[in-house]
Each structure stands twice: as C-alpha cells, then as structure tokens.
Amino acid sequence: MPHQAHPSRAPLAIGRVLACVVVALLAALALVIWSPAHAEDTDARAPEAPYFHVASDDPALDALPLKATQVDVRIAGVIAAVTVTQHYRNAGQRPIEARYIFPGSTRSALHAMTVRIGERRIVAQIREKQRARLEYDDARREGKTSALLEQERPNVFSMKVANILPGDDVQVELQYTELIAPHDGRYRFVFPTVVGPRYRSAAASPANGALTATAHLPPGVASDTTFDLNVKLDAPLPIRELSSQSHKLEALGLGTAHVQLALADDGPRDNRDFIVEYALAGERTATGVMLYQAPPGDDAENFFLVMVEPPQTVTPTQINPREYVFVVDISGSMHGYPLDTAKALLRELIGSLRPTDAFNVVLFSGSNRVLAEQSMPATPAHIARALRIIDRAGGSGSTEIVPALRRVAALPKAADVSRTVVVVTDGYVAVENEVFALVRRNLDQFNLFAFGIGTAVNRHLVEGLARAGQGEAFIVTRPERAAEQAQRLRRMIDTPVLTQLKARFTGIEAYDVEPATLPDVMAGRPVVLWGKWRGDPHDAKLVLTGQAADGSFVDVIDAPPPDADAVALRHLWARQRIAQLGDDEALLGGQSQREPITALGLKYGLLTNYTSFVAVDQVVRTQQAATPVNQPLPLPQGVSALAVGAEPVLATAVPSTPEPRWALALALTLLLTAAALWHARLLRRNASAR
C-alpha cells in the first residue's frame, strides 16, 4: 500500500508559497520606490526643474516684465565685444522683482553692467559673490531699485531686478568679450538667445552647484519680448566668405575687411542661437596685430593681440617634416584588454606613417625603455621592428609616467622638425599635477595628444595632459574604435605649417603674455597670442620666427597705431588667465584657485564663479514689498514639450513601454514566485516518496 503524504505537509507548502510571493512583492515594491529612476521622476517635480509658465489672472501684476533685448556686437579679428541691453517695464499696478535666466557664450568675459531708471544711471560694482548678494537683499528690503547679476554656469547667467515700480522703464546694459575659436579656417560667432530646459537629479552632487528654476512658455507660444541684433565685423584681412544658417541677414561691405550685419527675418528671433560664420585666410599664412593703449594713469595697462592663421589649403610643399614619439603604458593595469586595444591603436598610427616621417617609441611601466636613442625614419623595416616590440609587450609592473615623459623631453630633436608626442595610457596614477607641470615646462619642444584606453579611464589625467600640451584628448573604449580615433588624430596633426614659432616685439616691451609658449601652426588651427606692452608704439614691429617646410621662417609686421576701441583686449587677457586658473582648480579639486580668481575678477571687473555684479539705486522708492516674477523663456525651436515635463494628457497621447524598474520588479516577482512553486512541488514529491 503506497505511503500517504502527511496531512500537515500541504498547508506548510502552501504557506511557504504565499510567504515567497509576499517577499517577492515587497522586494519589487522596494525596488520601484528606491530606484534611481524613481528619484529622477520625483526630481522632475522639484523646485529646480523647468516648468511651464502659467499666465497670472491678477490684472495688477505684470508677469512679463522683460519687454525687449537689443544686442550690439563688434568683432575685431578673433575678438567679439558684445553689448546686451535688456528693457524691463512694469505695466502692472504694484512693485515687482523681475527674475530672468539667460544664456551666454562659454568663452565670454562679462566685464560691465549699468542700470538706467529714467534719467538716473547706476554703474554696477563687481563684488565677491556673497557680499553682492547681501547688498542686493538689503537694498530690496529697503525699497531701493537694485540689480544682481550672477554666473550660474559658465554659459548661464541669472539677473534679478528688484523694486520695479508701476510705470518704470528699467534698462540693464551688459558688456562682455569673447574669443572666437576658428575651426578649419572658418570663424564662428554664436549668440545664444535662450536657455533650454534643464533638469537636475536629486542624486546629483552638490559640487554641480545650484540651478535656478526656469519658466518656459508653452509650445507654440512666442515670446512677447522683442529681440534685435546688429554686428559690426572688423577683420585684419578681407572677409572672403560669410553666411548664417540660423537667421536671415542684411549685409553691407561684403568682400572688404569691414562688414555690417543686421537681422532681416520677421519671425521669432529669440528661440534659437544666432550663428554667423566667416573666413579670413588667404593663400599664405596671415598675421594680424592689434594694440590697445589705456588712458594715462598710475595703473594703466596696454594690451596686444597677435593672430597667426594658416592658409585654408595646405599643399605637400608647405608641410614640415614630422616626428612622432609614442609613449605607451605597459604597466600591470594595462594587462589584457586595455593593452590589446592600445596595440591595435598603435598598429594603425605607426603603420600609416610616411617614409618622410620620423618616429620613436617609449614603453614604460616601473621603468622605461626607448626604441632608439634618436628617432628613426619611418621605413617599412623600422615600422615592422617597432610593431614586433609592441606586440611582445606584456602588462606588468607599476606606472612610472613622469620618468618616461622626462626621457621624451630629453630626446634629441632636429630644429626643423615638428614633434608630436602621443601618450597611450589608462591613466591610473596619482601624480597628475607633476605630469601637467612637466608637460607645460617642455611645451616648446612638442605638442601632446593623449589617448585614454579602457572602460574606466582616468579622464583627469588624459584630458589634463591634452590641455597642458595644447593638444586633444581621445578616449578609446573598444578595439574596433582604435582605427577611427587614429585617423582623427592623423587628420589633425598631419599638417604643421609653422613650427618652433616665436613672437617678439621691437620698439615696445611685451610682458604677461598668454599663452606663455606658442604651439605649432597647423592647418585648421590658427594661433592667437595676447599680452601686455609698454613703451612708444609708433615704431613698434612684430617679429615672428619659426620653421616652415621650405626653411627658416621670418616675418616682420609693422604694428598698427593703437586702437582706442580695442579695450576688449584687456578683458580677454584677464579671462584667459582666469580660465587657466579655472582649469587648474578643476584638476586640483575644491576651490583651490578661489583667491586668485576672485582677485582677477575684482581687478578687471569680470563676472566669475566667485564674483558678481550688483547695482543699487540709493533712493528709497517704495515701502511695499515687491512681488517676485519669473520671466518665462520661449521653448527653443524644435524642442518638444516633453523636455519641460508634459502634462498627463500629453503623456497619454504617446504609446509607452514599461519603465526599466517596473520590468525588473515584475521579473523579480515572477522569479521568486516560480522558485516558491518549484519548492512546494518538491515538498509534495518528497512527501509522496515517503
């Protein structure tokens, strides 16, 4: 007679199944509640998130105080001096505090702000950021009209104008300068007109800084703020080409060195960036010089700009002999996949060298060794030998990168050869600052490009190396991307036009020059030099020396008379110095450069991360508290309403798929339930066996 299962086994099995199901459901619920995705959804409704503007139903309140923006631009060579005038008017019946977020160029040096209230003109003062906030808050509470300008990001500014009384027309004028970076022989000026919607995760690091909530107009609603822009372009050479893909333009003076531009289109203008491109380069290397002479005074400082631009097309006869030194990390951390990827990269780089090129290889780990004591011609035999040595290299040992770079700096170098150093590493070292200083001290010997290899590269080192060496950083995460990145590097460094470039003035003394060492002039990469000068400029000359493909290069240029309108050079020099300190601070972490950045910001009147502009009218104008009003921004052209956080009705109109956390929770529930059922079945089977 078969053995019967014990009656108590069935309830026990069912209880265990139910317990497992409950555990599964609780685990799934916890996963949904605590997942990062859920945190982001919560943050989308947080105060810092962008939101749609809702028109006020209070007729006494003017909810759109910004009435007009006028932009006037003067471009001199590669420098733009920009004046932005914002017109605020209170058409309501009670005092308001207007709050406005607006964009700027990442290269801008904002150096002045003035406020006009009727016939009164208040010049804003540059202050340390916290002090500026205190002055503004005190003035706002006292009923004084005041304005505060702060930098929230290098390209996002916030403006507050307090106590705008009914009927007031307040004008805030901002002035900034910027460097127009050339790319492949073309110069591009960009004026951002609107800040796009930006979210901030609740889990984001406080180091990212605060971001003021931004109101946006609903889709299809144009801004009531009028926008106009004019450009005056003064170049050291005739302007050969000029175009804008963003706006229709009216242009005067095309084909000369002096062009005037104005907006011509009648549609919305402030919902997309204004972009204008132009070219200057001719058939030979073009050089321009600008001088600015300050009014006499005890602290008067004069500034200069030098621009050396290569021709648009580079013929083989214009290309200097080239030398490449490949510095390869073969330490223990590179073992396996990273080193395999590095080898694929080097096979592409070294294998494509030309017979006229010279090259060398430095392998380093705990020690270093060099392929040859002097760079060798890139013959097939030498290339094959180098690739065999690299292929046999295995990853082991420590990562002594500093001695390796010192050895590179000590390698003999022909005077007429352009040297490019290519560093290949995962960057797993803790001597970044020493490495950066070493590269900067030897910059006149080479340009440096850095390749980071691996899935978790130390970008601190790789990107810092490229900045210090005035090159570029490349990140290769997969072997199949090695060839693509190698080709990108070759396109960039294949065409040095001038090497060993040096600049000096006769007749005047130059000092505080930025950058301290000039990089090679390459196709698509002009060189810009600025600094200070003293002396009599009437007989001043600029002397450029270097090495060209056909021998020594010497060019002597008569310096033009000082341009009283080139005051932008003063601010651009200071901005470059501040940018360098900002790079150092980013590399060092914390606020290590707060004091020198603050000092430069205060001396040269520049808006920085640590300095702000504040303007206070000393007249007490009201005893009534001002109502805060956030000026809404138009939704950028082509941006969906979903970018701001669409209302549920909009969301339901679009088919959706389960979010990853729900799918994972469902999978976990099914898995645990299946396990519980399997366990119950096993219990029944064992019971039956008995």
φ/ψ of residue 505, rounded to 5: -105, 145
Exposure b/e, 13-27, CB count within 10 A at least 16 = b? beeebeebeeebeee
* Domain ranges, residue 687: 1-49+645-690
Residue 400, domain CATH:
3.40.50.410
- At 67 the pLDDT is 94
| Residue 260: its H or E element | strand 258-263
Q: Give the residue, 590 or 251, on which the prediction is more confident.
A: 251
pLDDT at 156: 80
CA distance 486 to 644: 40
Of 331-340, 364-373, 442-451, 482-491, the range with the highest mean pLDDT is 364-373
State the alpha helices, DSSP H only, in 393-458.
Answer: 401-410, 432-441
Confidence at residue 656, expressed as pLDDT on a 0 to 100 scale: 30
pLDDT tens digits, one per residue of 456-508: 567 777 878 887 887 878 888 767 778 888 877 777 766 667 778 889 999 99
Position 155 scores a pLDDT of 74
- Reported as a single tens digit per residue, the pLDDT across 122-144 is 999 999 999 999 999 999 999 99
Indicate whether 415 belongs to any domain: yes
What are the tens digits of pLDDT across the range 394-415? 877 777 888 999 999 999 988 7
Strand 322-329 with 358-364, pairing: parallel
Alpha carbon 130 to chain centroid, angstroms:
25
Domain membership flag for residue 356 = yes
What percent of the chain lies above the pLDDT cut of 70?
Answer: 75
Task: Examine residue 408 and state whether it is found in any structural domain, yes or no.
Answer: yes
Residue 486 lies in a domain: yes
3-state percent breakdown (helix, strand, coil) of the chain, nearest 5: 30, 35, 35
Phi/psi for 406 (5° steps) reads: -65, -40
DSSP assignments along 495-512, one per residue: -EEEEEEEEEEESEEEEE
- Residue 278 belongs to some domain of the structure: no
User: What is the structure's pLDDT at 482?
Assistant: 83
The CA distance from 62 to 224, in Å, is 12
Summarize the confidence of residues 344-356 as an average pLDDT: 87
| Neighbouring-strand partners of residue 187 | 182, 278
Local confidence band at 152 (pLDDT 50, 70, 90 cut-offs): confident
Number of Cβ within 10 Å of residue 511's Cβ equals 9
Residue ending a domain, among 494, 523, 548, is 494
Interval 271-294 mean pLDDT:
78
Say if CB 555 and CB 544 are below 8 A apart.
Answer: yes
Domain-embedded: residue 231: no
Q: Are 293 and 561 contacting, i.e. CB atoms less than 8 angstroms apart?
A: no
Does the pLDDT at position 552 exceed 50? yes
Q: With 80 as the cut, is the pLDDT of residue 304 above it? A: yes
Question: Which phi and psi angles does 436 have, rounded to 5°?
Answer: -60, -45
Q: Structural domain tally of the chain?
A: 2
CA pseudo-torsion sign 373, 374, 375, 376: negative
Span 613-627, pLDDT tens digits: 999 999 999 999 999
Residue 362 CB-half CA count within 13 A: 28
Residue 198 falls inside a structural domain: no
Asked, for residue 436, whether it belongs to a domain, the answer is: yes
pTM comes to 0.64
Q: Does residue 225 surpass a pLDDT of 80?
A: yes
Bridge partners of 233, per DSSP, are: 75, 259
Spatial contact of 534 and 509, defined as CB atoms under 8 Å apart:
yes
Where among 494, 524, 552 does a domain terminate? Answer: 494
pLDDT value of residue 208: 45
8 Å CB contact between 75 and 232: yes
CA dist 324 and 448 (Å) reads 10
Strand partners, 189: 276
Rounded Cα gap, residues 163 and 96, in angstroms? 5
- Domain-ending residue, one of 475, 494, 513: 494
User: What CA–CA distance (Å, rounded) separates 154 from 149?
Assistant: 13
Burial class (CB in 10 A: 0-12, 13-18, 19+), 123: exposed
